[in-house]
Structures are given as structure tokens and as C-alpha cells.
């Protein structure tokens, strides 16, 4: 089984971290390839960043289809391009926000999201409605750390603090990390907090693996049928987005 984990931003160190986390949880016989578009935003922190990352994500799906991947993960908490990716791929495509939040739904009454910048909170709230977890999402908390600033020790302290406050205020049963760049903090935070901490990269990787194991994939008879192939391929082939 071959999985492609797509980091929609172009920061190589983050792609490497995502790949390591995904490989750490993949089952035996599962090959995980982490990748990111050659061009696009270095970080995704606004609606414009997300929108301009999507063509790159779709190119990665398109090249993945040629290469024969069995499934895909979109490794940015806004799940950019998820519906279009499902049109283009034969196998299942899972976003890390949907996987993290649905996985958290198995662990009790509700969860809190801890994320990067407060300007992304509205988008995360939208996703809770889209994925049917609005009632389970008991709070979304920004720690005001930019995506590319997550590696510093102060960042870890801020995130830990935000998680503690979230648990205390929301009465939640688990924490969902709201950025792929936090994937490596998962176990450490869980140990310190005494509750489950869900990272979307690992949650989505095992989710897509199990969908494939169960022979399940996107319905291709209606809304997610392959779109006008000439039109899409031409756009993707001739104009790789910066």
C-alpha cells in the first residue's frame, strides 16, 4: 500500500516532520511518501494562503494518480482542496482536520482545538459544522504562534499552556492539535496533560490506511465523478502554480 501525504505548503522542514510522524504510525506494508508542491505559500495562515495552495495540492494528486498511489492525506488543518482532490483521485483522500476531529469524537463528550493564529479560528469553526462535530467541539483556542514559529521552546510552552486552559475551561475529554506543524508534540503533550491529544497527520494516515484496507473509496457516480479531464489536466499540466 502506497500513501502520499501532501503538505500543502512549501516548507521542506515541515514536510519532513509530517512524513516522519506519518511513517511512525503507518502499519506494516504501508509506504508513506511525504511531499509538498514545488511552488506555493511557505505557510498557510489566511484564506488567501489556503486558496493559493490548492492548485499545488491538486497537482500532487494528479502526479500521484499517474504514479499509482492508493490514497492521500492533505496535511494542513484547513483541509485545502479536499473536495476537488476527491474528484481527481481513485482512492480515498482524507484531510487532517476531518480525521483529527472525527477521531476525537470516539473519545468522550467533546474535544478542544488548540491552534496557531486567531485569524484561523473562524475557518476551524466552519469545519466543525461541515464535518458534523460542532456539538463535540467545545472550544477553539489560538496561541498566536505563526506556523513557522512552532519549533521554538517558547512555542511548546505556549501550546502546553493553551491546552491546559482549554481543558479547564471547556471540560473536554481530548485535545485536537490545529496545525500539521504540531504533529511531533502529540505524545509529549498527552503525557503532560493526562488526556488524549490527537494530531491530524497521524489520525489521517491511519484513517486512509484503514479505508484502503476495507476497500472503501470516494463514490464516483455523482458529485465526485472525475471532472472534465481535458480541462483539468491542461490547467494542471501547463501552469504549475508558483
Binding residues for a second copy restricted to 34-73, rule: CB under 8 A = 39-43, 45-52, 54-55, 58
Q: How far is the CB of 38 from a second copy (least distance, A)?
A: 11
Binding residues for a second copy restricted to 75-94, rule: CB under 8 A: 81, 83-84, 86-88, 92, 94
Is residue 13 involved in binding a second copy (CB under 8 A)? no
Is residue 157 involved in binding a second copy (CB under 8 A)? no
Contacts of 37 by beta carbon, 8 Å cutoff, 6+ apart: 6, 8, 10, 53, 55, 56, 57, 59, 60, 240, 241
Q: How far is the CB of 78 from a second copy (least distance, A)?
A: 11
Angle between helix axes 229-238 and 47-67 (nearest 10 degrees) is 110
Give the length of the chain: 242
Residue 48 or 67 with smaller CB distance to a second copy: 48
Q: How far is the CB of 177 from a second copy (least distance, A)?
A: 12
Task: Give the range of 12-20, 98-106, 156-164, 177-185 binding a second copy by CB under 8 A.
Answer: 98-106
Please pick, from the candidates 114, 166, 179, 241, the single residue that binds a second copy as defined by CB under 8 A.
241
Sheet holding 93-95, edge to edge: 31-35, 2-6, 71-74, 93-95
Listed residue (205, 18, 15, 177) closest to 95, CA to CA: 205
Apex 81 CA angle, 79 and 87, nearest 5 = 120
How far is it, in rounded angstroms, from Cα 121 to Cα 141? 8
Q: How far is the CB of 113 from a second copy (least distance, A)?
A: 15
Binding residues for a second copy restricted to 112-131, rule: CB under 8 A: 118-123, 126, 129-131
Q: How far is the CB of 6 from a second copy (least distance, A)?
A: 14
Please pick, from the candidates 135, 144, 152, 192, the single residue that binds a second copy as defined by CB under 8 A.
135
Is residue 102 involved in binding a second copy (CB under 8 A)? yes
Strands (E), 16-161: 31-35, 71-74, 93-95, 111-115, 137-142
In the chain the first and final C-alpha atoms are separated, in Å, by 30
Binding residues for a second copy restricted to 165-224, rule: CB under 8 A: 167, 171-174, 187, 190, 194-196, 198, 202-203, 206-207, 209-211, 213-219, 221-224
Amino acid at each position: 500500500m502506497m500513501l502520499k501525504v501532501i503538505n500543502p505548503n512549501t516548507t521542506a522542514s515541515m514536510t519532513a516532520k509530517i512524513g516522519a510522524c506519518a511513517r511512525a504510525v503507518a502499519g506494516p506494508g504501508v509506504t508513506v511518501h511525504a511531499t509538498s508542491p514545488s511552488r506555493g505559500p511557505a505557510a498557510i495562515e489566511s484564506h488567501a494562503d489556503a486558496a493559493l495552495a490548492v492548485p499545488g495540492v491538486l497537482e500532487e494528486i494528479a502526479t500521484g494518480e499517474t504514479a499509482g498511489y492508493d490514497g492521500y492525506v492533505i496535511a494542513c488543518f484547513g483541509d485545502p482542496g479536499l473536495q476537488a482532490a476527491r474528484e481527481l483521485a481513485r482512492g480515498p483522500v482524507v484531510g487532517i482536520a476531518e480525521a483529527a476531529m472525527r477521531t476525537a469524537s470516539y473519545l468522550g463528550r467533546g474535544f478542544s482545538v488548540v491552534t496557531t493564529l486567531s485569524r484561523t479560528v473562524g475557518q476551524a469553526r466552519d469545519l466543525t459544522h461541515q464535518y458534523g462535530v460542532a456539538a463535540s467541539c467545545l472550544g477553539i483556542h489560538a496561541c498566536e504562534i505563526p506556523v513557522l514559529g512552532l519549533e521554538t521552546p517558547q512555542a511548546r510552552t505556549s501550546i502546553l499552556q493553551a491546552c491546559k486552559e482549554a481543558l479547564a475551561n471547556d471540560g473536554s475529554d481530548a485535545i485536537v492539535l490545529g496545525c500539521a506543524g504540531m504533529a511531533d508534540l502529540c505524545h509529549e503533550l498527552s503525557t503532560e496533560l493526562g488526556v488524549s491529544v490527537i494530531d491530524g497527520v497521524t489520525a489521517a494516515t491511519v484513517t486512509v490506511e484503514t479505508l484502503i484496507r476495507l476497500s472503501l473509496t470516494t463514490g464516483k457516480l455523482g458529485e465526485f465523478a472525475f471532472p472534465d479531464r481535458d480541462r483539468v489536466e491542461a490547467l494542471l499540466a501547463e501552469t504549475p502554480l508558483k
